[in-house]
A and B are shown apart, each in its own frame.
Chain A
């Protein structure tokens, strides 16, 4: 399988909210890192998971598939998955793939955090 060229950092925004900073490419090679980040967030009891796409360099259709899988896992744990920092191009991809039906998209971290209140 292709080598992963993505870094993910998990940070706490509040007791119930975790932010996953994504830097690099979301492809099938990112699966383990993305699911590890999700597991870390769940382990500390996060109810809200924010995906920060500010430093996203590239995403292919396998990457979109990973986000669907992540969304289903989060829904089954009654967690809320939110995205922010997407470029206009990737916002359009979320719309095209109908991911925006299930993942709320915000422009920046402040807006995303405010939406949780």
Chain B
């Protein structure tokens, strides 16, 4: 057996660690198994997209909560977060991780409702999902598919700061198309998005027995609107879900007719 230098060994370990943490490259999502209760809509055959492919201004939105007074490591927090990812969501957000859980390349199905009038939630249904882009013991990142309200990544992590474990959600996102941008700016969509992550971190803190005070910070990374991506509207998941729901009686009728023949 040849001698392997410590540098080579370290590099090889890094490569293995990296390959295990990232999702396999995919040009389009392929949905094979759908968890019980979930509906696969606006996912199959859709490309995953990052913040560069979105429409509205690009924001970095950071939400964090300090788990003060609890002896818990970042790895424990993230492991637990992965296991309870759906449970920490507000009731109007139904998340369905695949059976494999939060693993690179896996899809989390999402069934939610969006804003229609200011301050009123839940009039427009939206079924879609996100793909787990990256996962390691201290963080995981999800990436959105075409048509999702936001284009980009949300990273869920935990780390030690001043001797205290901190749990954090950080999004690097743009709204996906002009309709979503309008909804975010003028229909309370932005506030609703913030409320979701406040709720998630409060639930996480509560899970560890802490009355968490969530801190929020946003940075405008790119104020430009990418008009060339206004065409994303054709894959708008909310519009497609609306028509899917509208067509439900016809699908039921067709199924009934088929069964009788």
A contacts, CB < 8 Å to B: 1-2, 25, 57-62, 64-65, 68-69, 71-72, 76, 87, 89-90, 92-93, 95-99, 101-102
Say whether chain B's binding surface is mostly helix, strand, loop, or mixed.
strand
CB pair B14–A57 under 8 Å, yes or no, is yes
Number of contacts between A and B (CB, 8 Å)? 76
Minimal beta-carbon separation of B15 from chain A (angstroms): 6
11 inter-chain pairs at a CB distance below 8 angstroms, sorted by A residue, are A25-B14, A61-B133, A62-B139, A62-B141, A65-B153, A69-B221, A71-B52, A92-B25, A93-B25, A96-B48, A102-B52
A98 lies within 8 A of B222 (CB): no
- Taking CB as reference atom, which chain A residue is nearest B219? A69
Main secondary structure of the interface of A (DSSP, over half): helix
Alpha-carbon separation in the docked complex, A98 to B161 (Å):
32
Residues from chain A with Cβ under 8 Å of B25 in the complex:
92-93, 95-96
Does any Cβ of A come within 8 Å of B26's Cβ? yes
> Which 4 pairs, one residue from A and one from B, show the smallest C-beta to C-beta distance?
A61-B141, A61-B134, A92-B25, A72-B222
Closest-by-CB residue of A relative to B133 is: A61
Cα–Cα distance between A57 and B11 once the two chains are bound (Å): 6
Among B16-24, B65-73, B79-87, B117-125, the one that faces the other chain is: B16-24
With A61-B153, A89-B18: A68-B48 Cβ-Cβ less than 8 Å: no
